[in-house]
Amino acid sequence: MENDSTIRRLKTVEGHLRGVIRMVEEDVYCIDIIRQIQAVEAALNKVSAQILEGHLNSCVTTAIQGNDPKERTRVLKEITEVFEMSTKV
């Protein structure tokens, strides 16, 4: 099941984030902390991409193949908004 994979990945990220918190508490070298934060960000981006792919293959495909033009417009607008938010960081 797709959700199981997503949850496993998120729990792995959670563990890494706890590691970063521990590193800060232990006053580890700043660059090492930043590298670990970047690894957490990359892992979250991968989970996000996985969820987006599932959404595109289910909800978006259904809406585009459906007969409701408002629903098609809505899901396409959502995708655009998600993309725009991802480029703001």
Confidence band, pLDDT 50/70/90 cuts, at residue 87: confident
Q: What percent of the chain has pLDDT over 70?
A: 98
Look up the pTM and report it: 0.81
Per mean pLDDT, which range of 7-11, 40-44, 73-77, 83-87 is the poorest?
83-87
Q: Average pLDDT over the chain, rounded to whole?
A: 92
Exposed e or buried b per residue across 44-72, where buried means at least 16 C-beta atoms within 10 angstroms of its C-beta: eeebeeeeeeeeeeeebeebeeeeeeeee
CB-based contact 44:12 (threshold 8 Å): no
Length of the chain (residues)? 89
Could you state, in order of their start, the residue ranges of all structural domains in the chain? Answer: 2-88
- How far apart CA 86 and CA 79 sit, in angstroms, is 11
Q: Which CATH superfamily is domain 2-88 in?
A: Metal-sensitive repressor, helix protomer (1.20.58.1000)
Write out pLDDT tens, residues 41-83: 999 999 999 999 999 999 888 988 999 999 989 999 999 998 8
Residue 30, pLDDT score: 97
